Amino acid sequence: MTFPALSVLDLVPVRSDQRTGDALAASRSLARTADAAGYTRYWVAEHHNMPAVAATNPPVLIAMLAAATERIRVGSGGVMLPNHEPLVVAEQFALLEAAFPGRIDLGIGRAPGTDPLTRYVLRGGSSAAADDAVTRFPEYVDDIITLMHPDGVEMTVGGRRQPLRATPRSASLPTVWLLGSSDYSARLAASRGLPYVFAHHFAGQGTAEAIELYRSSYQPSEAHPEPRTFLTVNAAVAATAEEARRLALPQVLQMVALRTGAPLTAQRLVEEAETTPVPEAHRGMVDAMLTRWVVDEPVAARRRVEELATEFGVDEVMVHPVTSAFAGTDAAASPAREETLRLLAG
C-alpha cells in the first residue's frame, strides 16, 4: 500500500473554555501546522447557529487562513449554496483566487447546514426562496462556474445586451468540487465533469456506492478529463490509543447529541466529557461511530488510513481532527488537534 496524500477539514470547533476569537486563533495555528507538515489542502465548513462551531463564513475564513499559510490549498468544505446567491459566491471565490492564485478550492454543498429558522433568515425570510434554491441547485452550480470564467456571460436587460462576470480580469480559476452525503451530488458531479467528495466523515455509510456511481457515470470535461475524488474521515491520534479515545470523547458526545436531537453545547473539555455518561441506549451508536473513525496511536492510525484509501480507491484522505483539549490548555490553541496532524503525517 502507498500512503495517501493528506488534507484537513476544519469546522473551527469552539470549546467550553474558548471565545470565538480563541477558536479562530487555534485554527490559524492548525492551518500552519498542516502547511508545515506537507498536507495538500485545508478546507473549512459552513454551519450556522451552533454553539460549538465558529465556521459560519467560509470565504472570510479562507482569506484568513490562506494569508496565514504559504503553500497549502485552502477552500470550502463547503459553501452551502442554497444559503447564497450564485453571483455572490462567484465574486467571493474569484477574489480569493486572484489574491492566492492556484491555492483556492470552492467546495459546494446542497444542504443548508443549519436549522430551519436560520435557513429562513439567510434567505430573507422566505421559505419559498429557500426551497427554490435547493431545487435550482444544478442551475446555480452552472451559474457560478460561468460567472467565474474570464468571459463571464452576456444577458439582455431592458432591451440591452450587458456583460456580467465575477471579476474584471481573472487570470486563473478556483477548482470547483461538489460535495454530498447521498448519490444526488455524485450524479450531478459526474454529469458536469467535476471533482466530487462524499461526506464519509459524517454519513459513514453509502461511501463506496456513491464513489462507484460517480466514477462509472463520469462525463469527462476539458478541465477534468478523469474523475477525481478523495475520502474524508474523523481522526484522533495520540501517543497511545487510550489517550486518543479520551481526546475524542467530547466530539463523540457532540455527535450523539446531534443525532438524537439533544441540546447542543460548546465542545466539552476532556475532563468535562468524562463526567458525562453516555446513555446505554446510545452505546451502539457510539461504537458504530468509533469503528468508522480513526482513533488510535500513530502506527495503527497510519495503517488504518492506508487501508481506507485502498478500500475506496483514493490517493488522498481528508482528516477532520476531532480531538478536544484537557483543562488548563491555552484557550487560543488546540495542541491535540495539531498533534493528530503531525503524528499522521509521520
Q: What is the pLDDT of residues 226-235, one digit of tens each?
A: 999 999 999 9
SS3 130: helix
Sort strands 316-321 and 229-237 into parallel, antiparallel or unpaired: parallel
Write out pLDDT tens, residues 311-340: 999 999 999 999 999 999 999 999 999 999
CB-CB contact of 113 with 45 (8 Å)? yes
Q: What is the pLDDT of residue 341?
A: 98
Write out pLDDT tens, residues 276-292: 988 899 999 999 999 99
Q: Which three cell numbers stand for residue 249?
A: 470523547
Write out pLDDT tens, residues 112-158: 767 888 888 887 777 677 678 788 999 999 999 999 999 988 888 78
Q: What domain range is 168 assigned to?
A: 5-345
Question: Measured between alpha carbons, how far is 159 from 54 in angstroms, rounded to an integer?
Answer: 45
Q: What is the pLDDT of residue 272?
A: 98
Of 28-32, 130-134, 254-258, the least confident: 130-134
Q: Does 90 score more than 90 pLDDT?
A: yes
Chain-centroid distance of CA 334 in Å reads: 18
Write out pLDDT tens, residues 165-207: 999 999 999 999 999 988 999 999 999 999 999 988 877 678 9
Question: Measured between alpha carbons, how far is 81 from 141 in angstroms, rounded to an integer?
Answer: 8
* CB atoms inside a 10 Å sphere around CB 173: 19
DSSP strands (E only) in 169-228: 175-180, 196-198
CB-CB contact of 9 with 232 (8 Å)? yes
Q: Omega into 77 within 30° of 0, i.e. cis?
A: no
Q: What is the pTM of this model?
A: 0.95
Rounded to 5°, the CA angle 222-226-228 comes to 115
CA dihedral 274, 278, 283, 285 (to 10 degrees): -90
Q: How many residues does the chain have?
A: 346
Q: To which residue does cell 458525562 refer?
A: 276
Domain containing residue 44: CATH number: 3.20.20.30
What's the total number of domains in the chain? 1
Question: Measured between alpha carbons, how far is 11 from 251 in angstroms, rounded to an integer?
Answer: 12
Question: Measured between alpha carbons, how far is 161 from 293 in angstroms, rounded to an integer?
Answer: 54
Q: What is the mean pLDDT of the chain?
A: 94
* CB atoms inside a 10 Å sphere around CB 37: 17
> Who's near 22: CB < 8 A, 6+ residues apart?
14, 331, 332
Determine the straight-line distance between the first and last CA of the chain, rounded to whole angstroms.
16
Looking at the DSSP bridge assignments, the partners of residue 73 are 41
Nearest to 44 by CA among 94, 71, 8: 8
High-pLDDT (> 90) share of the chain, %:
83
Nearest to 339 by CA among 215, 309, 324, 292: 324
Q: What is the pLDDT of residue 196?
A: 97
* CB atoms inside a 10 Å sphere around CB 213: 18
Nearest to 328 by CA among 288, 287, 285, 269: 269
Of 10-19, 122-131, 155-164, 211-220, the least confident: 122-131
Question: Measured between alpha carbons, how far is 114 from 46 in angstroms, rounded to an integer?
Answer: 9
Q: Which three cell numbers stand for residue 275?
A: 463526567
Q: Does 1 score more than 80 pLDDT?
A: no
Q: What is the pLDDT of residue 113?
A: 67
Dihedral pair phi/psi, residue 334, rounded to 5°:
-135, 70
Q: Does 243 score more than 80 pLDDT?
A: yes
